[in-house]
Amino acid sequence: MAKDITLHWASGSPPCWRVIIALEEKNLKGYNQKLLSFDKGEQKEKETLDINPRGQVPAFKHGNNIVNESIAACLYLESQFKSRGPSLIPDSSEEQALMYQRMIEILNLQQRLADVVLYTRRIPEEERHDSAVKRNREALSAEFKLWESYMHKGGPYMAGKNFTLADVIVFPPIAFSLRLGLSQERYPKLTEYYNLAKERPSIKATWPKHWLENPQGMDLFKDL
Amino acid sequence: MAKDITLHWASGSPPCWRVIIALEEKNLKGYNQKLLSFDKGEQKEKETLDINPRGQVPAFKHGNNIVNESIAACLYLESQFKSRGPSLIPDSSEEQALMYQRMIEILNLQQRLADVVLYTRRIPEEERHDSAVKRNREALSAEFKLWESYMHKGGPYMAGKNFTLADVIVFPPIAFSLRLGLSQERYPKLTEYYNLAKERPSIKATWPKHWLENPQGMDLFKDL
C-alpha cells in the first residue's frame, strides 16, 4: 500500500514534517522517499518539479494522485486511509470546529514566521528597512501571544481531548518556534502543549534528525 | 437549523463569499447575518471581535462552535451538513486529491493578490519601492499563468467532473481577479471556467450586490 506513495522532503521543514507525521499515524511505512537539501537547491531539480511545479517540498504522490500542499496531503491521507490507525478527525462537532479552525489558522503564524526568518532571503538588500524588520517581529510576537491564549481551553490537545489533524498540522511550526528560541517562560501554555505532543509516538519517531544531533537552534525569537 | 448560525461578512470579500456559497449549497437559509463595511472598519467592533479575535471577516458561528477561517468553515459545513444539498466532496480518490490540493493551493494566489492590491495599505510610504511593486506584480502574473495551466485537465470543474469544495473556495478569488481586469484573452481557460461556474445557482444567488450594480472593477490587472 505504502509502495504507491512517494514523498520528497527536507529535514526540519514544518510542512514536510506534517505529512511525515500523518503517514506515521496511518501506519504507512516503507514509502518511497527522497530527502532533499535546500542548501543545494535540490527542490528545483526535475524529479521534484515533475511532482510539484512550484519546486517546493513536500512533493507528495499516491499512485497518480498528487497532493503537494501539506495541509491538503494530511486531509487526503486521513480521508483515504480512514480505517488505518487512529481516526484523526474527532466525532463531536465542537472538536471538529476547533480542528478545522486551528489547522487553517496556523497559516497566519506560518506567514509571520516566514516574514521574520526569510526576510533577508526574500527582500533584496536595497529594499530592506529596520522599521519593516521591527514590524514583522512585532506581528510575530502578537501571533505567538494569540496562540498562547488559545491553549488549554478544553485541551490538552489543539482541538480538545483527542490528538487530531490539528495537532499533526500545528505542532511542527510550534516546535520550530521553540527551537528558534521562543521563551518557554513567556509562553508556558504553548510549552506545556509542546511537551505533551512531542511524546506522541508518531512525532517522536519522526523528529528531525539534525535537530536531535544539534538540539539548540538559533536565539532568533528569544525576545519575542 | 440555520437559526443557530451567525455570519458577519463584507460584500465582495472572496473569503466571505466562500462561506456564503457553502451555506447556499447546503440550503441553509435564514441564518443571522451582519453585513459590515470595511471602509468604516466595522470588522474591528466588539460584536465581531467577540467571534473573531483577529477582527476579520468572515466571523462565523454555529451554536457555540466558531470557525472563522473561510476554508475551515467550508470544510466544517460540509462535514456537519453532509446529507443536506449535494455532496461537495467527490467519491473518487483522484478528484479528492485534486480538490484538497487546489483548495489549499489557492492561498498562494490569494497571498499574491494581497501583495499587489493591498501594497499601499500595508507598506508605509517611506518603505515603498517601485522594484517591490514590479516584483509583486510579476509574482502574481506567474501565479495566474500557473492556474491557467491547471485548467481543463479532466475538468470542467476545479477538481474534475463535479462541482466540489474546490470550486466553492477557488471561484471567489478568480472572479475577483477578472473583475480587477485580468485579461480574458490571455487567460482563456480561466475565463471559460469562470463563465461555467458563475452559472452555478449557489454562486448566481450570492453574487456581490455592488458588483452587479457596478460590474466594471478597476483595470489593475489588465497587463498581467
Mind listing the pLDDT tens digit for each residue in A132-165?
Answer: 999 999 999 999 999 999 997 778 999 999 999 9
**Average pLDDT over chain B, rounded to whole?**
95
pLDDT tens by residue, B8-53: 999 999 999 999 999 999 999 999 999 999 888 888 899 999 999 9
Please give the residue of chain B at the shortest CA–CA distance from A124. B132
Chain A residue numbers touching B97 (CB-CB < 8 A)? 62, 65-67, 76
Q: Please report, rounded to a whole number, the percentage of residues in chain A having pLDDT higher than 90.
A: 90
Chain B residues touching A118 at Cβ < 8 A:
none
Answer whether A69 sits within 8 Å of B101, measured CB to CB: yes
Sign of the CA dihedral with A193 first, then A199, A200, and A205 last:
positive
CB contact under 8 A, B129 and A132: no
Instruction: Output the nine-digit C-alpha cell for A166.
Output: 490539528
Q: Which residues 6+ apart lie within 8 Å of B218 measured at CB?
A: B180, B181
What is the nearest CA distance from B210 to chain A, expressed in angstroms? 29
ipTM above 0.95, yes or no: yes
pLDDT beyond 90 at A215: no
Name the residue ranges covered by the structural domains of chain A: 2-80, 93-213
- What is the mean pLDDT of the segment spanning B163-174? 98
| B113 pLDDT above the threshold of 80 | yes
Contact B146 A53 (CB under 8 A): yes
The highest-level CATH class for domain B93-213 is mainly alpha
The answer on pLDDT for B158 being more than 90 is: yes
Note whether A80 contacts B93, CB cutoff 8 Å.
Answer: yes
- Give me the pLDDT at residue A1, please: 75
Which residues on B lie below 8 Å from A69 (Cβ)? 100-101, 104-105
Nearest-angstrom CA–CA distance, A36 and A14: 14
Query: Which chain B positions have a beta carbon within 8 Å of A88's beta carbon?
Result: none
By the CB < 8 Å criterion, does B164 face chain A? Answer: no
- A68 Cβ under 8 Å from any chain B Cβ: yes
Collapsed DSSP state (helix, strand, coil) of residue A142: helix
Answer for the pair B24, B168: CB distance below 8 angstroms, yes or no.
no
Report the C-alpha gap between B112 and B115 in whole angstroms: 5
Give the pLDDT of residue A83.
93
- Contact at 8 Å (CB) between B175 and B109? no
Please give the DSSP secondary-structure letter assigned to residue B51. Answer: T
> A2-80 adopts what CATH topology?
Glutaredoxin (3.40.30)
Q: What cell numbers appear for B201 in the block? A: 445557482
- Selecting from A97, A124, A149 the residue whose C-beta is nearest the C-beta of B76 gives A97
Name which of B75, B107, B169 to mutate to probe chain A: the one with the most chain A Cβ atoms within 10 A of its Cβ.
B75
- pLDDT tens, B64-102? 999 999 999 999 999 999 999 999 999 999 999 999 999
Contact A93 B69 (CB under 8 A): no
Any CB–CB contact under 8 A between B119 and chain A? Answer: no
